[in-house]
């Protein structure tokens, strides 16, 4: 081994303590595409809603919509804004069902193949893309990305509906707060949701680490590994669940079944089905281990929660 390669290997080991560099590299390719896709969906939705408002205004004797929307003391103002925000979000949701622009799809596909291969390399063998499962896997992983984003969107819509409901039911309190000049908590939350950067990053993180784990598991199985293990860097960012799951055995049969369930769920077109098959749970401190066991039996392979750094290995890790 040359000095350069030794240094490179040492550096990789050090980096390994943190996030997986290969996964982070793939995320950097996909993230801007998803962001652009989202920004375009929002822009189109705003224009569409504005168009609808203008057509509404045309039918009114005066510029009433604007007047009501701007008038804080008007009793109908919050209801009108709630209706506008919800219709805006519904249009965004519809626009995002359109896949990422086809010209960019090749980049996403490259990132997926890279993730699967790098996952394979991480267990010492290379994921065979020529195998039957390999041929359908990149497609499923691509569907997974869309479903993950859409699943998050469904959750955000529920949040938006709750916020809007509160805006309407808590009108008197809100009005008092607005008058006193305090920051408006509900408006801030709405703005955050419509910006979407945080939850898109979380969705992509989970998607990318899942692709890496799939590559690792399939590669290990293909290479004839008898047993798989869960490994976690175990540092101050490790969750109680991942501290518990570190070193646990994954039976090859269980891994295969989970991968098959995943392939079916990813092609189902339903974000909910995918989340049921591979749920992400962040357990609060003090959760009984029985709950950990159930979650491990359902998910089998990492990631197990948002921002999870647990990985599949073929040798038992140091406990």
Kindly tell me which of 116 and 242 has the beta carbon lying closer to Zn ion.
242
Kindly tell me which of 44 and 287 has the beta carbon lying closer to Zn ion.
287
For the bound state, the minimum distance from the C-beta of residue 308 to Zn ion, rounded and expressed in Å, comes to: 3
Residues 223 to 252 in contact with Zn ion, rule: CB under 5 A: 242
Residue 125 lies near Zn ion (rule: CB under 5 A): no
Kindly tell me which of 45 and 242 has the beta carbon lying closer to Zn ion.
242
Kindly tell me which of 213 and 265 has the beta carbon lying closer to Zn ion.
213
For the bound state, the minimum distance from the C-beta of residue 310 to Zn ion, rounded and expressed in Å, comes to: 4
Residues 281 to 310 in contact with Zn ion, rule: CB under 5 A: 308, 310
The residue count for binding Zn ion (CB under 5 A) is 3
For the bound state, the minimum distance from the C-beta of residue 231 to Zn ion, rounded and expressed in Å, comes to: 11
For the bound state, the minimum distance from the C-beta of residue 245 to Zn ion, rounded and expressed in Å, comes to: 8
**What span, in angstroms and rounded, lies between the C-alpha atoms of 278 and 37?**
25
For the bound state, the minimum distance from the C-beta of residue 221 to Zn ion, rounded and expressed in Å, comes to: 22
Radius of gyration of the chain (CA): 24
Cβ atoms 211, 218 nearer than 8 A: no
Kindly tell me which of 128 and 247 has the beta carbon lying closer to Zn ion.
247
For the bound state, the minimum distance from the C-beta of residue 209 to Zn ion, rounded and expressed in Å, comes to: 9
Q: Using CB under 5 A as the criterion, which residues of the chain lie in contact with Zn ion when the complex forms?
A: 242, 308, 310
């Amino acid at each position: 081994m040359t000095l350069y390669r030794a240094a490179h290997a040492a550096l990789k080991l050090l980096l390994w303590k943190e996030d997986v560099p290969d996964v982070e590299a793939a995320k950097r390719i996909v993230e801007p595409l998803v962001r652009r896709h989202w920004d375009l969906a929002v822009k189109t939705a705003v224009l569409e809603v504005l168009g609808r408002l203008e057509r509404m205004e045309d039918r009114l004797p005066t510029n009433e919509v604007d007047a009501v929307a701007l008038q804080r003391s008007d009793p109908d103002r919050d209801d009108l804004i709630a209706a506008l925000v919800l219709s805006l979000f519904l249009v965004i949701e519809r626009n995002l069902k359109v896949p990422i622009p086809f010209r960019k799809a090749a980049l996403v596909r490259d990132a997926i193949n890279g993730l699967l291969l790098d996952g394979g390399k991480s267990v010492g063998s290379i994921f065979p893309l020529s195998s039957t499962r390999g041929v359908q896997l990149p497609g499923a992983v691509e569907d997974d990305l869309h479903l993950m984003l859409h699943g998050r969107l469904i959750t955000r819509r529920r949040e938006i509906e709750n916020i809007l409901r509160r805006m309407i039911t808590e009108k008197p309190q809100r009005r008092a707060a607005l008058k006193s000049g305090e920051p408006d908590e509900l408006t801030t939350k709405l703005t955050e949701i419509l910006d979407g950067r945080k939850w898109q990053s979380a969705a992509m993180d989970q998607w990318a680490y899942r692709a890496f784990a799939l590559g690792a598991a399939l590669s290990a199985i293909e290479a004839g590994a008898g047993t798989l293990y869960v490994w976690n860097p175990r540092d101050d960012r490790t969750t109680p669940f991942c501290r518990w799951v570190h070193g646990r055995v994954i039976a090859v049969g269980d891994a295969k079944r989970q991968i098959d369930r995943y392939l079916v769920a990813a092609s189902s077109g339903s974000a909910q089905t995918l989340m049921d098959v591979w749920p992400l749970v962040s357990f609060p401190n003090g959760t009984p281990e029985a709950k950990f066991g159930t979650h491990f039996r359902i998910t089998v392979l990492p990631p197990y929660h948002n921002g999870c750094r647990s990985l599949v290995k073929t040798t038992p890790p140091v406990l």
